[in-house]
């Protein structure tokens, strides 16, 4: 049974919190976290556990409380965890924006932008914030701005895995929207190179990387190699069933 321990101020005692028995009312946990001025990494652990359990409102409540002005004042010297909380909220609202319809979509995108802006004011060089901004721009269809964000990270660390995947997806989407065939092919080639680079650096990468390679090869007309790439998705990922892969192949025009 996984647990976290919240230190009780002024004593050597700790409050044990069982992560698989978190209270339905997150206020109970928040009262303890605030009263004991608990380290922010514990706020993050508890929020993420709520999220994993599908308790989204509790997840949101913990993070919103953990990003309030009182927290900013008391934890002013704690940069990484404050940024992580703000970026988690930015990613959360980006996800909601993708799922919602206008005008609610724009409200979530605006909230995400504000959280990323706050994170940047703490440290404008933090890679995870730029990656989050890039993902937000992709969700909004602002592909060039997304590319600019991912490139800022890759210019400092060419092997940053999330930035590689982000930039690869941007190139692919640019290829889909490009009217000139030659330019579209160039975008797919750039996307393919980044997916391959990600695969070389991270052999245990998610199936999405190999799937990206397969789709790039398909778009480039390399059908045999695309089929091989699709087959490797099945070989390396138990989460993909034969039925799912047949549906993917059918979607791109293959019947076998």
* Domain ranges (residues) in the chain: 3-184, 206-256
pLDDT of residue 237: 65
List pLDDT tens digits, range 155-181.
999 999 999 999 999 999 999 999 999
Q: Which two tokens stand for residue 119?
A: 């994170």
Q: CATH topology for 3-184?
A: 1.25.40
Confidence of residue 246 (pLDDT cuts 50, 70, 90): low
List pLDDT tens digits, range 13-44.
999 999 999 999 999 999 999 999 999 999 99
User: Taking all residues of the chain, what is their mean pLDDT, rounded to a whole number?
Assistant: 91
Helix (H), strand (E), coil (C) string for the chain: CCEEEEECCCCCCEEEEEHHHCCCCHHHHHHHHHHCCCCHHHHHHHHHHHHHCCCHHHHHHHHHHCCCHHHHHHCCCCHHHHHHHHHHHHHHHHHHHHHCCCCHHHHHHHHHHHHHHHHHHHCCCCHHHHHHHHHHHHHHCCHHHHHHHHHHHHHHCCCCHHHHHHHHHHHHHHHHHCCCHHHHHHHHHHHHHHHHHHHHHCCCCCHHHHHHHHHHHHHCCCHHHHHHHHHHHHHHCCCCCHHHHHHHHHHCCCCC
pLDDT of residue 251: 46
Confidence of residue 242 (pLDDT cuts 50, 70, 90): low
pLDDT of residue 244: 55
Give phi and psi for 22, each to the nearest 5: -70, 145
For the cut 80, the answer to whether the pLDDT of residue 247 exceeds it is: no
120-127: average pLDDT: 97
For the cut 90, the answer to whether the pLDDT of residue 114 exceeds it is: yes
130-153: average pLDDT: 98
Of residues 38 and 244, the one with the higher pLDDT is 38
How many CA atoms does the CB half-sphere of 237 hold within 13 Å? 21
């Amino acid at each position: 049974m996984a647990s976290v321990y919240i230190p009780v101020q002024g004593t050597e005692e700790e409050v044990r919190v069982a992560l698989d028995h978190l209270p339905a009312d997150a206020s109970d946990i928040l009262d303890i976290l605030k009263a004991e001025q608990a380290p922010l990494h514990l706020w993050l652990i508890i929020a993420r556990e709520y999220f994993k359990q599908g308790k989204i409102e509790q997840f949101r409540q913990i993070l919103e409380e953990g990003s309030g002005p009182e927290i900013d004042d008391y934890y002013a010297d704690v940069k990484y965890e404050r940024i992580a909380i703000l970026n988690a909220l930015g990613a959360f609202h980006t996800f909601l924006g993708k799922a919602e319809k206008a005008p609610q979509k724009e409200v979530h995108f605006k909230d995400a932008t504000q959280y990323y802006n706050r994170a940047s004011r703490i440290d404008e060089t933090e890679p995870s914030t730029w990656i989050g901004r890039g993902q937000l721009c992709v969700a909004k269809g602002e592909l060039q701005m997304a590319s600019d964000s991912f490139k800022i990270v890759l210019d400092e660390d060419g092997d940053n895995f999330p930035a590689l995947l982000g930039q690869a997806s941007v190139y692919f989407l640019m290829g889909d929207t490009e009217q000139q065939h030659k330019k579209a092919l160039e975008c797919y080639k750039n996307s393919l190179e980044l997916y391959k680079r990600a695969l070389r650096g991270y052999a245990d990468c998610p199936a999405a990387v190999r799937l990206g390679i397969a789709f790039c090869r398909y778009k480039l007309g390399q059908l045999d190699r695309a089929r091989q790439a699709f087959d490797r998705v099945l070989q390396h990922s138990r989460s993909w069933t034969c039925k799912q892969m047949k549906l993917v192949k059918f979607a791109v025009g293959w019947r076998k």
